[in-house]
Amino acid sequence: MAKWQKILEDARRSPHDVRLNDAVKLAEAYGFVFKSGGKHSNVGKRKGYSSPLNFQTSGDGKVKEYQIKQLLDAIDELDAPPDDV
């Protein structure tokens, strides 16, 4: 099982318990690109997908649950699993 598959399973099971690094890895596996630097470095965009993903962490280093749900919705919309990353 690829790492992104494990992250995806965990995110679907517990969207309130996803760390920033894992959210970014999962989004990147589905073609989202995150630019580093600046105030909004956790904003990911994907060619052919209109809505950017924005990840913010709460005090415990985990991404806000509604943002993980947005990521999961985007993954469901894309409906094509990535190549093993």
Domain boundaries, the chain: 3-78
Using pLDDT thresholds of 50, 70 and 90, give the confidence band for residue 82: low
Percent with pLDDT over 70 in the chain = 86
Report the DSSP pairing between strands 49-54 and 33-34: unpaired
Q: Rg for the chain (alpha carbons), in Å?
A: 12
Q: What is the pLDDT of residues 14-55, one digit of tens each?
A: 999 999 999 999 999 999 998 765 555 578 888 888 888 999
**pLDDT of the residue at 43:** 84
Q: What is the residue whose two structure tokens read 């965009």?
A: 45
The tokens for 39 are 């105030």
**pLDDT of the residue at 23:** 94
Could you tell me the pTM of the whole model?
Answer: 0.84
Percent with pLDDT over 90 in the chain = 54
